[in-house]
Amino acid sequence: MDNKFLNLPPAPPFTIAAALLLWGWQTGYLVFAIPMILLIETSYWVRWRWPLSHKEFNLISDFSGIGFFIVVVFIFSTVGSRGIFVILSVMPFILLLLLLVQLYSEQGKVNLSSLFVSLRKLDPKITPEAASKVDISLTYLAICIISASAGNNRTIWFYILSFCLFSIILWHFRPRRFSIFVWAGLLSLALVTSYATQEGLRDIQRNMEASIIGMFDQFMWRYRDPDRATTAIGSIRRLKRSDRIVVRVNSEQSLNTPLYLREASYDHYNYGIWNNETPIYSVIDQGLDGSWSLSPGKSKGTINITSYMPREIGVIPVPHGVNRIKDIAALEINTNQYGAVRMEIREGWINFNADFNDKMFTSPPGENDLEVPSAYRNNFDRLAKELDLYSNTPEESLTRITRFFTENFTYTLDQRRRYPPGKFLQNFLFNTRTGHCEYFATSTVLLLRTLGIPARYAVGYVVDEYSDMEGSYVARSRDAHSWALAYVNDKWHLVETTPSVWASYEESNASLFEPFTDIYFWLSYRYALFQAQDELDQEETNYNLLYLLIPLIMILVWRLFFKKRNNRKKTTNIIKTIRRQQGIDSVFYILIDEFKLAGYARRDGETLACWMKRINEKGDYPELEEALQLHYRYRFDPASNNNQIHKDLSRLVKSVMDRGITPVSAQPINA
Partner 1 sequence: MAATGRLLYHNFHILHRLSRWTRDRFSATGLLILSCIIAAGIFGIDTRASLAYQIFSISFSLLLISFLSSLLFRARLTCKRHLPEYGTVFLPVRYSVTIENSDNKRHIDLLYTDILESKFPSFKEFKTAHDPADKNRNWFDRKIGYPKLMSMLQRNRGASISWSAVDEIPAQDEKGFTIEFIPTRRGYLRFTHSRVARPDPFGLFLSFKSQKNPEKLLILPKTYRVPHVNLMGHRKYQQGDLNQASLVGDSQEFMSLRDYQPGDPLRSIHWRSYAKRGDPIVKEFKDEFFVRHGLVLDTFIEDHTPSQFEEAVSLAASFSLSIEDQDSLLDLLFIGNETHHFTTGRGFGKSSNLLEILACVTPSPEPDFHNLTNLIEKNLSEFSGLILILLDWDEKRQEMVKRFTSIKVPVIVFVIMESPVNLDPGPLSNHPERFIPLITDNIQDALDSINWAGI
- Which ranges in 511-623 belong to alpha helices (H)? 514-536, 544-562, 572-578, 588-597, 608-615
* Shortest CB 128 distance to partner 1, Å: 6
554 makes contact with partner 1 (CB under 8 A)? no
Q: Which is nearer to partner 1, 72 or 545 (CB)?
A: 72
* Shortest CB 1 distance to partner 1, Å: 6
Among 53, 198, 508, 531, binds partner 1 (CB under 8 A): 198
* Shortest CB 173 distance to partner 1, Å: 5
Q: Residue 379 burial (CB < 10 Å; 0-12/13-18/19+)?
A: buried
**SS3 of residue 306 by DSSP:** strand
The Cα–Cα gap between 240 and 13 comes to: 54
Contact criterion met (CB below 8 Å) for 243 and 419: no
Going by the DSSP 8-state scheme, the letter that residue 299 receives in this structure is -
3-state helix, strand, coil in the chain (%, to 5): 50, 15, 35
DSSP 179-222: -HHHHHHHHHHHHHHHHHHHHHHHHHHHHHHHHHHHHHHHHS--
627 makes contact with partner 1 (CB under 8 A)? no
Q: Which is nearer to partner 1, 4 or 647 (CB)?
A: 4
Binding to partner 1 by CB under 8 A, coded x per residue (else -) over 97-136, reads --------------------xx--xxx-xxxx--------
In the sheet that 472-476 helps form, which strands lie side by side, from edge to edge?
292-293, 322-326, 348-356, 301-309, 245-251, 472-476, 465-467
Instruction: Compute CA distances 421 → 382, 449, 491, whole Å.
Output: 19, 21, 35
* Shortest CB 191 distance to partner 1, Å: 8
Residues in 9-28 at the binding interface with partner 1, rule: CB under 8 A: 9, 26
* Shortest CB 422 distance to partner 1, Å: 11
Q: Which is nearer to partner 1, 42 or 197 (CB)?
A: 197
Q: Which is nearer to partner 1, 136 or 556 (CB)?
A: 136
Among 14, 70, 74, 197, binds partner 1 (CB under 8 A): 197
* Shortest CB 494 distance to partner 1, Å: 28
Q: Which is nearer to partner 1, 162 or 362 (CB)?
A: 162
Provide the angle, in degrees to the nearest 10, between the axes of the packed helices 156-172 and 15-27: 160
* Shortest CB 478 distance to partner 1, Å: 24
Q: Residue 612 burial (CB < 10 Å; 0-12/13-18/19+)?
A: buried
Nearest to 322 by CA among 271, 290, 362, 269: 362
Q: Phi/psi at 359 (nearest 5 deg)?
A: -85, 125
Q: Which is nearer to partner 1, 205 or 577 (CB)?
A: 205
Residues in 149-178 at the binding interface with partner 1, rule: CB under 8 A: 149-154, 158-159, 162-163, 166, 169-170, 173-178
Q: Which is nearer to partner 1, 160 or 280 (CB)?
A: 160
Binding to partner 1 by CB under 8 A, coded x per residue (else -) over 257-286, reads --------------xxx-------------
* Shortest CB 139 distance to partner 1, Å: 6
* Shortest CB 272 distance to partner 1, Å: 6
Q: Say how far residue 427 (Cα) sits from the centre of its chain.
A: 18
Largest separation between any pair of C-alpha atoms in the chain:
105
Residue type, 251: S
Q: Which is nearer to partner 1, 118 or 571 (CB)?
A: 118
Residues in 204-233 at the binding interface with partner 1, rule: CB under 8 A: 205, 230
**Residues 6+ away with beta carbon under 8 Å from 319:** 259, 260, 261, 262, 303, 354, 356
State in Å, rounded, how far the first CA of the chain is from the last one: 74
Q: How many residues form the binding site for partner 1 (CB under 8 A)?
A: 65
Q: Residue 299 burial (CB < 10 Å; 0-12/13-18/19+)?
A: middle
Q: Which is nearer to partner 1, 230 or 431 (CB)?
A: 230
Site of interaction with partner 1 (CB under 8 A): 1, 3-9, 26, 84-85, 88, 117-118, 121-123, 125-128, 138-139, 142, 145-146, 148-154, 158-159, 162-163, 166, 169-170, 173-178, 182-183, 186-187, 189-191, 193-195, 197-198, 201-202, 205, 230, 271-273
